Amino acid sequence: MTQSFSIPTLGPSAHQDTFCRDNLPPLEQWPVLDMGPLDYGERINCATELLDATIERLGPDRPCLRSPGGTVWSYGELRAHANRIAAVLVEDLGLVPGNRVLLRGFNEPWLVACWFAVLKAGGVAVTTMPLLRAGELATMAEMCRPTVALCDSRLTEDLDRAAIPGLRTTVFGSTAPDDLITRAASRGPVFDDVDTAADDVALLAFTSGTTGRPKATMHFHRDVLAIADTFSAHVLRPEPDDVFTGSPPIGFTFGLGGLVVFPLRVGANVLLLEKATPDLLADAIAQHGVTVVFTAPTAYKAILAAGAAGKLAGVRRAVSAGEALPEPVWRAVHDATGLRIIDGIGATEMLHIFISAADDDIRPGATGREVPGYTAVVLDDAGQPVADGTAGRLAVRGPTGCRYLGGDRQEVYVRNGWNVTGDTYVRDTDGYFHYQARTDDMIVSAGYNIAGPEVEQALLGHPEVVDCAVVGAPDAERGMIVKAFVVLNPERTREVPAEELQDFVRQAIAPYKRPRAVEFCKELPRTSTGKLQRYKLR
């Protein structure tokens, strides 16, 4: 679609280290910005807003972060820890505004304190996921050039092996005399937050890279607040008495939003889990009176399979994102608990969720509608809108959007001002968006377009199928055939032949979509954010 739009301008930066401004993509390649009613002014620090402003409204004593081990920090305590670490960053580690700080830790309170410290000091947070190894950390560092790292003492090995040039690493959680926490304890609890520009970069987030080389996305201080004031405020609608938990790492923006930004914006409480496999997650939800959960569709599936859906009884809001939520999973959770899972599609490029629905607005099987503040359209390959009911490329815009560090492949994601997510979607006449597949994962077999996830969903309806992935396999006659990789329930009491699964799919959806090849496996390849790596199966 072509339209005219104005090229954005930037306010005066508070960054002394100009790396981020220097590496923003060219302004004319940015997506169209639509702030709608959101207005953060020219200067805002998202850490001040999430922490100090919440304390100003609700007082310092409300419970903020806790961990299963028994740590409970109030909002005032988290702020004091963050302020003390900010002082160490500036006074001892030489941080100047704009420096990138690599953070490495599990989901636990000190990681969150470090994240706030970096932002208060005007630094740029680069939070990495614990699962990442030396090679991946080295690649990330090469791209974003951190000067300082704050690292959990249990996770130093891979960071050391990454041998990042010029990096000053400080460890937290050890017994060493120069441990970050010990050093921070000698500082005062007050820190004068850097008065950052609303459009100063606050964080760099790496894409999960289901296909290859990761890209770094750049997000501003105002973007961090915008995700709370769109998806969270209008769809999730949390309350100060909610208790949040979830499985995504804080280094994944799904986790950052759900476990830090959204709860703190409203003064709620967060249970941080270092290990959040589906069984541990379900237990923690039941034990700690959790009311708001963030996790991936596979976790809901696994909780159901383990017969643990009852543990979700106290949950008020359950969010699913990262991959499509199969309708049978939504229905099974609803049948077992009455809970209506909030599906939402988000992306690292967009920072968080832009299509979703909650409560009675949910249509099971559809991702939802535009989150207030975002506009979404479905485009054909030439960039023209398609009719409702027709599949095409999902394109969105709103207050957040894609800015790749160094403009790396920027024109692939942003076209004519739209963020093109790489997903094939159908919009229905009621404005609901129905996920089909990643555009690259559409299977063309004998002239038919087949969306792998639709076949996966059909297979998952079979009682003995616990996980599956459907891809196109090259075929001389048909171009491609539908091939299914299937994980069967290990506790099954009988054999399940491939033909039975093929027949099962043929009963559920159009017969031409049935898998012509079935391969059984023990588990499926996934990224560190839990996404299926279909390209590996191809």
Task: Check residue 208 for interaction with ligand 3UK (CB under 6 A).
Answer: yes
CA dist 369 and 432 (Å) reads: 5
Contact 287, 279 (CB under 8 A): no
Residue (84 or 363) nearer to ligand 3UK, CB: 363
Residue (438 or 534) nearer to ligand 3UK, CB: 438
Among 346, 398, 461, 515, binds ligand 3UK (CB under 6 A): 346
Alpha-carbon radius of gyration of the chain: 23
Task: Check residue 421 for interaction with ligand 3UK (CB under 6 A).
Answer: yes
**Which residues in 305-324 contact ligand 3UK (CB under 6 A)?**
321-324
Write the CA distances from 218 to 6, 46, 326, 406, 487, integer angstroms.
Answer: 20, 15, 31, 10, 38
Residue (174 or 439) nearer to ligand 3UK, CB: 439
Contact 91, 122 (CB under 8 A): no
Residue (309 or 353) nearer to ligand 3UK, CB: 353
Residue 125 C-beta-side C-alpha neighbours within 13 Å? 33
The contact mask relative to ligand 3UK for 248-287 (x = CB under 6 A, - = no) is -----xx---------------------------------
Residue 116 C-beta-side C-alpha neighbours within 13 Å? 26
Q: List, as own/partner pairs, every contact residues 72-75 make where C-beta atoms lie below 8 angstroms and the sequence separation is at least 24, other chains included.
A: 73/109, 75/51, 75/264, 75/267
Closest C-alpha to 290, from 275, 273, 304: 273
SS (H, E, C) 256-297: HHHHHHHHHHHCCEEECCCCCCHHHHHHHHHHCCCCEEEECH
Among 83, 170, 337, 367, binds ligand 3UK (CB under 6 A): 367
Among 364, 365, 406, 422, binds ligand 3UK (CB under 6 A): 422
Among 100, 120, 301, 352, binds ligand 3UK (CB under 6 A): 352
Contact 206, 215 (CB under 8 A): yes
Least separation in angstroms between CB 456 and ligand 3UK: 12
3-state secondary structure of 156: helix
3-state helix, strand, coil in the chain (%, to 5): 35, 25, 40
CA dist 234 and 369 (Å) reads: 12
Task: Check residue 423 for interaction with ligand 3UK (CB under 6 A).
Answer: yes
Q: Where are the beta strands (DSSP E) in 388-494?
A: 391-397, 414-415, 418-427, 433-438, 442-445, 448-451, 465-475, 479-488
Least separation in angstroms between CB 498 and ligand 3UK: 27
Least separation in angstroms between CB 239 and ligand 3UK: 21
Closest C-alpha to 254, from 325, 344, 335: 344
Least separation in angstroms between CB 493 and ligand 3UK: 33
Q: Please identify the residue of the shown chain whose CB is closest to the bound ligand 3UK.
A: 346
Among 347, 469, 481, 532, binds ligand 3UK (CB under 6 A): 347
Stretch that binds ligand 3UK, among 84-92, 300-308, 344-352, 493-501 (CB under 6 A): 344-352
Residue (75 or 254) nearer to ligand 3UK, CB: 254
Least separation in angstroms between CB 248 and ligand 3UK: 8
Length of the chain: 538
Beta strands 391-397; 418-427: pairing state: antiparallel
Task: Check residue 435 for interaction with ligand 3UK (CB under 6 A).
Answer: yes
CA dist 359 and 363 (Å) reads: 9
Closest C-alpha to 79, from 40, 120, 41, 38: 120
Residue (173 or 346) nearer to ligand 3UK, CB: 346
Residue (164 or 270) nearer to ligand 3UK, CB: 270
**Which residues in 458-477 contact ligand 3UK (CB under 6 A)?**
none
CA dist 447 and 509 (Å) reads: 17
523 Cβ partners below 8 Å, 6+ apart? 467, 487
How many chain residues touch ligand 3UK (CB under 6 A)?
23
Task: Check residue 357 for interaction with ligand 3UK (CB under 6 A).
Answer: no
Residue (31 or 122) nearer to ligand 3UK, CB: 31
**Which residues in 39-78 contact ligand 3UK (CB under 6 A)?**
none
Least separation in angstroms between CB 16 and ligand 3UK: 30
Residue (45 or 424) nearer to ligand 3UK, CB: 424
Least separation in angstroms between CB 460 and ligand 3UK: 15
**Which residues in 225-244 contact ligand 3UK (CB under 6 A)?**
none
Among 337, 348, 400, 457, binds ligand 3UK (CB under 6 A): 348
Task: Check residue 343 for interaction with ligand 3UK (CB under 6 A).
Answer: yes
Residue 68 parent element (H or E): none
Closest C-alpha to 257, from 215, 201, 203: 203
Stretch that binds ligand 3UK, among 116-124, 155-163, 280-288, 415-423 (CB under 6 A): 415-423
Q: Which residues bind ligand 3UK (CB under 6 A)?
A: 207-208, 253-254, 321-324, 343-348, 352-353, 367, 421-423, 435, 438, 529
